[in-house]
Every structure is written in structure tokens, then in C-alpha cells.
Amino acid sequence: MSSRAFGRAFGALAVVLAAGCGKGDPAPEPKAEPKGGDRGALVYAQYCAGCHGPEGKGDGTIVLAQPARSFAARPWRTGPEPTPELIRKVTLEGISAVGMAGFRNLSAPDLDAVVAHVQKLATTGAPTARVQTEGAKALAAAGFAELAGPAPPLLLVDARGTETRLSQLSGKLVLLHFWGTGCAHCQKEIPALDALEKAHAGRLRVLHVCTDEPDAKAAQQVLDKSAPGALAHVEANDLGLARYQVQSLPTVWLVGPDGGAIGKSGGAKDWTAEPQAQLLARWLPPAK
Ligand code: HEC
């Protein structure tokens, strides 16, 4: 690398650190240039290693309130698996909640290179990887991110005015399916979800929670056309949805028979597929 290019990269580093930390932490000395001219490793060392550590183990010298974890740990914070698409998105957009600024000013080749490098760190030689539990594996296979802690409270109402509280459903596995009236692929997966509920009658409860229509009757009219026989719910008190962090449609939350949040997924799924069946089987309460 020419000294001019190096100076440019270092200048950008200082800007990024200032933007990322905002507390005037001293910029770390740039590490020696990695051998072999690996552009991804170089970009990573310049822009990312300060927080993520030289090998992505989360042991960088800059420690934020929410420290960076090892890239080898699973599930990832931002999704179940470190796909190039996900790494690219996070690198570009950052995660404002944890103080990681987005890197929108990386050149296209540098972005490609650092994405590939992070993926390598996340998937190879991972001595610090958290041992994945069987449950975490089942979640990842089904496209779910692992959750912990109690599920947020939720009060739902259907078109007949019948109220359903999440807390009343303890003892059952609950699948909250957040859909939208304009989301055709959300509505398309409803028959398969309802078939699962039937197959596990009394042990699994599937609730189709409409996110963009506050009137249960109007929401029901939509399902009557797109998924006849399915029951629409809306939130009764406008308090819970924000806590469920529905950022894309459909979003599914799996809540255990003990009321604990198990996992969350975004995007339509094939609910007849084996990983989905195994995921449910893992947390279904025993048959009576
Ligand atoms: C100012 C500190 C900081 C810098 C600089 C930084 N990050 Fe991060 N990054 C974080 C924190 C904190 C997290 C959240 C980690 C967690 O919760 O496990 C994170 C998360 C991520 C994630 C998501 C990991 C997951 O578990 O979902 C990716 C991908 C990522 N960073 C890539 C990068 C890349 C690539 C760079 C350099 C171009 C970079 N970061 C620079 C602090 C930083």
C-alpha cells in the first residue's frame, strides 16, 4: 500500500472513531499492515479492529457501553447467521443502539473486502465461539434469532370482541405471527401455520396479529378474502407492538409454555419444512 493510501485510510479512521464513540477516545495506533496484501484484513484492521478486536473476538481496545462480542458467537445480534448480505447491511448502516456508526463512505471494493473478511472471522477457526446449544441450533436452522427473558405483555382482540391475553396462554407454545393488510406473503403463509396449530391442537396456539389495521373487523375482512377460516387479531391497547420490535413483515415470535421468549424471525417461511417442524417440536409442551 502506498503511504498516501495509508494516510487516507488513517484519516478516515479518525473520523469514524470520532463518529462511532463520540467521547474523544484516543484513536489507537494503526496496526502493522497485514501480510499478503489482503485488502479485507487491512480495511478491517483500520476501521473495525478497534472495537471488534484484531481477530473479531470482541476484545478491541475501545469498549462501548455495549461491548462488541466475538463474531464467532451465535446467534448473531443482528440475525441468526452471518451472511454476506447481513454483514454488508450492518457495516453500511451501523447499529446506533450500541454506538457502531455506519460505514457508508467505504469504497465499493473496500466494502466487499471487509465484508468477506468479517465473514471469514465469523465462520473459521473460532476458538472463542460459544458452544451452540441444541435449542440455538434448531432456531438457527429455522431462520430464527434466539431470544431470552419473558415475552412482552400483549392484549389482543378479534372481530367478535373476544380478548386474548398472552399471559392466559401459559402452558401452550405460542406462535405470534405479525402480518400486515398489504403484505401478501404474510397472508400466504397463514394456511400452513393454521394447519400446524390444528396438528398440535391444545399444545400450540397461533395468533395472527395485524400490525397496520387497528380495527379487528377490517383486519378480519382482509383475511376472509386471502385466508378464509383464519382469525385476525389486533392489539387491544396499543401498548405491546413496539415492544415486539416488528421491523419487517411477517415477523414471528415463538413464546414458550412458560411465557419466555424463545426466538424471533423476519420474513416469510415455508412452514411445512422440516426445520420449522423440528423447531416447534422442541418447545411444544408434552401431549396430554
Ligand atoms: C465504535 C466501535 C465499533 C466499530 C469501530 C465497529 N463496530 Fe461493529 N459493532 C460494534 C458493537 C458494539 C456491536 C454489537 C456487538 C454485539 O452486540 O454483539 C457491533 C456489531 C457489528 C456487527 C454485527 C454482529 C452481530 O452479532 O450481529 C457487524 C457485522 C459489525 N459490527 C461489523 C463491523 C465492521 C465491518 C466494522 C468496520 C468496518 C465495524 N463493525 C466497526 C462496535 C463497533
Express each pLDDT in 160-200 by its tens digit.
999 999 999 999 999 999 999 999 999 999 999 999 999 99
By alpha-carbon position, which residue is closest to atom 19 of ligand 1? 68
- pLDDT band for position 75 (cuts 50, 70, 90): confident
Of 76, 100, 105, 121, the residue with max ligand 1 atoms within 8 A of its CB, to mutate for a pocket test, comes to 100
Residue 144 CA to ligand 1 centre (angstroms): 20
User: Which residues are CB-contacts of 13 (< 8 A; sequence separation ≥ 6)?
Assistant: 27, 30, 46, 47, 50
Alpha-carbon span 103 to 88, nearest angstrom = 10
- pLDDT tens-digit map of 89-146: 999 999 888 888 999 999 999 999 999 999 999 987 544 444 467 888 899 999 999 8
The residues lining ligand 1, judged by C-beta closer than 6 Å to any ligand atom, are: 20-21, 47-48, 50-52, 62, 64, 66, 68-69, 76-78, 87, 90-91, 95, 98-100, 103, 114, 118
Q: CA 115, CA 35: separation in Å to the nearest integer?
A: 19
| Displacement of CA 270 from its chain's centroid (Å) | 18
The confidence score (pLDDT) of residue 32 equals 47
Q: Is 109 exposed, middle or buried (CB count within 10 Å of its CB: 0-12, 13-18, 19+)?
A: exposed
CB 27 within 8 A of CB 13: yes
Point out the least confidently predicted range of 18-27, 71-80, 250-259: 18-27
Pocket test for ligand 1, best of 48, 85, 103, 147 (most atoms within 8 A of CB): 48
**Cβ neighbours of 100 (radius 10 Å):** 22
Q: Which set of grid coordinates corresponds to residue 206? A: 397461533
52 C-alpha vs ligand 1 centroid, how far in Å?
6
pLDDT band at 263 (very low <50, low <70, confident <90, very high): very high
In degrees rounded to 5, what are phi and psi of residue 178?
Answer: -85, 120
For residue 31, give every residue at least 6 positions away whose Cβ sits within 8 Å of its Cβ, in sequence order, or none: 45, 49, 54
pLDDT for the residue 213: 93
Which amino acid, residue 123?
Answer: T
Do residues 47 and 111 touch, judged by C-beta distance below 8 A?
Answer: no
Ligand 1 atom nearest to 103, measured from its CA: 38
The string of pLDDT tens digits covering residues 209-254 is: 999 999 999 999 999 999 999 999 999 887 667 789 888 899 999 9
